[in-house]
Amino acid sequence: NAYFTQATGYSREEALGQNPRLLKSGQTPPDHYRQLWQTLTDGGIWTGEFHNQRKNGSLYWEHAIIGPVRDLNGRIAHFLAIKEDITARRQAEQRLRLAASVFKHAHEGIVVTDTDGLIVEVNDAFSALTGYSREEALGQNPRFLQSGCHDPEFFAALWRTLLAEGLWTGELWNRKKNGELYAEATSISAVHDEAGRVTHYV
Mean pLDDT per 10-residue run, the chain (202 residues)? 95 95 94 94 93 96 95 92 95 91 92 95 96 97 95 94 94 96 95 92 96
Question: What is the reported pLDDT for 181?
Answer: 96
3-state DSSP call for residue 172?
A: strand
Q: Give the DSSP letter of residue 195.
A: T
Q: How many CB atoms lie within 10 A of CB 33?
A: 14
Rounded Cα–Cα distance for residues 138 and 98 (Å): 23
Sign of torsion, CA 128 132 135 138? negative
Sign of torsion, CA 39 45 50 54? positive
- The reported pTM is 0.64
Question: What is the reported pLDDT for 194?
Answer: 86
Rounded Cα–Cα distance for residues 97 and 103 (Å): 10
From the DSSP assignment, how many helices (H) and strands (E) are in the chain?
A: 7, 8
Q: Give the DSSP letter of residue 142.
A: G
Percent helix, strand and coil across the chain, each to the nearest 5: 35, 30, 30
